[in-house]
């Protein structure tokens, strides 16, 4: 039995072949087929691999010409044949071929897009088509370094960002990210990593640095003292430290020592954090709401437990690094 594609190819690109294509997708719609059969239909009817990419609903599937599901991380080539699934959303059906003057290709794309639109709306539901959902998806596309330039610029435009605009990324806990104009205020609540302002096409870079900055933020409690907001541009060499150290890397000895010391005295972490940031012992004492002689005693105790001096520049740098390492070694936020 010949494959359907071969049988259709053997025909003229005539009304009969067109009828077959239309009947195929109509039947899928009537039988409430899922998405994969639609993509498989596009692939097997044209004899080339087909893809459906819908960033809004996080759908990304690929089916080869012989009907096998074989997803790919590689982005679609901008020159491939494609058709939008919706007029106002970025979902797209792709055929992995350059335009080759085939009427059947065009018809299949059109019918597949139509069918996929019905399935996406019915099966994947309304929730992701809310404005917030679309924005999340568009943001994801703009920040995806593997997305094509065209897709990123289109998504940026839909977010209201001109191709020559500049913007920055706010990295938020649990993988969240917001794209903002350079002059927008940092969100007033929660931990925020702030990326540098960059042109639209370099926003993936801003996002990466914002996520690094987010790792240096803290809850600001006694157990997790530190800043709520961190700007990547102010990290300096600490950005490099972030590459070397994470929750899964072995702990350097100074970090071990710091954590042991913190377990011993509940005030230790908060006191050392404020002391490391403050310009003077007196300034630190007032921020901690303790008398400066109390702070003096705490620092002397800390020097004994840690085993290095804290009141001279070299020891202060060592303390600052140990505190930074503590932040980096926490589980991902």
User: Residue numbers of the site for other proteins (CB under 8 A)?
Assistant: 1-4, 7, 16, 19-21, 23-28, 30-34, 36-37, 40-41, 43-44, 66-69
Distance in Å, CB of 33 to other proteins, minimum: 3
Q: Toward other proteins, which CB reaches closer, 108 or 218?
A: 108
CA 324 – CA 330 distance, rounded (Å): 10
Do residues 206 and 152 touch, judged by C-beta distance below 8 A?
no
**CA distances from residue 257 to 27, 57, 155, 301, 305 in whole angstroms, order as listed:** 68, 47, 48, 14, 8
| Nearest Cα residue to 71 out of 43, 100, 50 | 50
Do residues 299 and 252 touch, judged by C-beta distance below 8 A?
no
Distance in Å, CB of 115 to other proteins, minimum: 10
| Residue 286 CB coordination number (10 Å) | 14
Q: Toward other proteins, which CB reaches closer, 65 or 278?
A: 65
Distance in Å, CB of 6 to other proteins, minimum: 9
Do residues 195 and 209 touch, judged by C-beta distance below 8 A?
yes
Q: Toward other proteins, which CB reaches closer, 111 or 191?
A: 111
CA 130 – CA 229 distance, rounded (Å): 29
Distance in Å, CB of 70 to other proteins, minimum: 12
The tokens describing 136, both together, are 């999340």
Q: Toward other proteins, which CB reaches closer, 30 or 127?
A: 30
Q: Tell me 233's DSSP state.
A: G
CA 69 – CA 51 distance, rounded (Å): 10
Distance in Å, CB of 54 to other proteins, minimum: 20
Q: Toward other proteins, which CB reaches closer, 90 or 117?
A: 117
CA 164 – CA 327 distance, rounded (Å): 36
Distance in Å, CB of 250 to other proteins, minimum: 44
Q: Toward other proteins, which CB reaches closer, 115 or 262?
A: 115
Q: Toward other proteins, which CB reaches closer, 52 or 137?
A: 52
User: What helix, strand, coil percent values describe the chain, rounded to 5?
Assistant: 50, 10, 40
Distance in Å, CB of 73 to other proteins, minimum: 22
């Amino acid at each position: 039995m010949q494959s359907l594609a071969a049988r259709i190819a053997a025909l003229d690109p005539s009304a009969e072949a067109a009828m077959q294509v239309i009947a195929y997708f109509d039947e899928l719609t009537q039988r409430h087929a899922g998405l994969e059969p639609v993509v498989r239909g596009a692939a097997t009817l044209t004899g080339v691999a087909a893809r459906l990419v819908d960033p809004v609903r996080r759908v990304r599937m690929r089916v080869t010409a012989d009907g096998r599901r074989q997803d790919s991380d590689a982005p679609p080539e901008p020159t491939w044949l494609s058709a939008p699934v919706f007029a106002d959303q970025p979902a797209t059906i792709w055929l992995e071929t350059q335009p080759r003057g085939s009427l059947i290709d065009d018809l299949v794309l059109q019918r597949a897009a139509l069918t996929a639109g019905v399935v996406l709306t019915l099966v994947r539901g309304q929730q992701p088509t809310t404005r917030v959902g679309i924005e999340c998806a568009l943001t994801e596309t703009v920040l995806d370094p593997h997305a094509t330039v065209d897709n990123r610029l289109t998504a940026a435009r839909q977010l209201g960002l001109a191709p020559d605009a500049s913007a920055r990324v706010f990295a938020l806990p649990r993988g969240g990210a917001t794209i903002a104009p350079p002059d927008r205020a940092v969100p007033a609540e929660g931990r925020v990593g702030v990326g540098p302002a960059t042109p639209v096409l370099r926003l993936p870079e801003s996002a990466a640095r914002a996520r690094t900055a987010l790792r240096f933020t803290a809850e600001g409690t006694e157990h997790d003292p530190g800043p709520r907001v961190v700007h990547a541009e102010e990290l300096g060499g600490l950005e490099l430290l972030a590459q070397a150290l994470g929750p899964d890397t072995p702990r350097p000895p100074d970090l071990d020592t710091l954590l042991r010391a913190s377990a011993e005295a509940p005030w230790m972490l908060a006191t050392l954090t404020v002391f490391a940031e403050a310009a003077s012992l007196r300034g630190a004492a007032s921020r901690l709401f303790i008398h400066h002689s109390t702070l003096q005693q705490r620092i002397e105790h800390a020097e004994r437990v840690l085993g290095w001096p804290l009141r001279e520049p070299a020891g202060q740098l060592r303390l600052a690094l140990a505190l930074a390492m503590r932040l980096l070694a926490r589980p991902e936020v």
